[in-house]
Amino acid sequence: MTRIIAGRLGGRRLSTPRGAATRPTSDRVREAVFSRVESLMDLEGARVLDLYAGSGALGLEAVSRGAGFAVLVESDRRTARLIEANVTELRLRGAARVHAESVDRVLERGPGGQPFDLALLDPPYPLGEEELTGVLTLLVDQGWLTPQALVLVERGSRSPAPTLPAGLSAMGSRSYGETVVHYLEPQS
User: 112-125, pLDDT tens digit by residue?
Assistant: 889 999 999 999 87
Backbone angles phi, psi at 132, to 5 degrees: -65, -45
Q: Provide the greatest CA pair distance for the chain.
A: 45
Average pLDDT of span 49-66: 94
CATH number for position 44: 3.40.50.150
8-state DSSP, 121? E
Environment class of residue 89 by beta-carbon count within 10 Å: exposed (0-12), middle (13-18) or buried (19+)?
A: middle
Q: In total, how many domains does the chain have?
A: 1
Are the C-beta atoms of 73 and 106 separated by less than 8 Å?
yes
The confidence score (pLDDT) of residue 55 equals 87
For 149, the 3-state DSSP assignment is strand
For 85, the 3-state DSSP assignment is helix
* Residue 113 φ/ψ region, left for φ over 0, alpha for ψ in the -120 to 50 degree band, beta for the rest: left
More confident residue, 44 or 22: 44
Q: How far apart are CA 113 and CA 128, in angstroms?
A: 30
pLDDT at position 13 over 70: no
Q: Cβ neighbours of residue 131 under 8 Å, at least 6 residues apart?
A: none
User: 106-160, pLDDT tens digit by residue?
Assistant: 999 999 889 999 999 999 878 889 999 999 999 999 999 999 999 999 999 999 9
pLDDT at position 3 over 70: no
State the amino acid at position 60 in one-letter form. Answer: L
Containing structural domain, residue 77: 2-186
Q: How far is CA 53 from CA 24, 45, 64, 96, in A?
A: 9, 20, 16, 12
Indicate the pLDDT class of residue 18, thresholds 50, 70 and 90: low
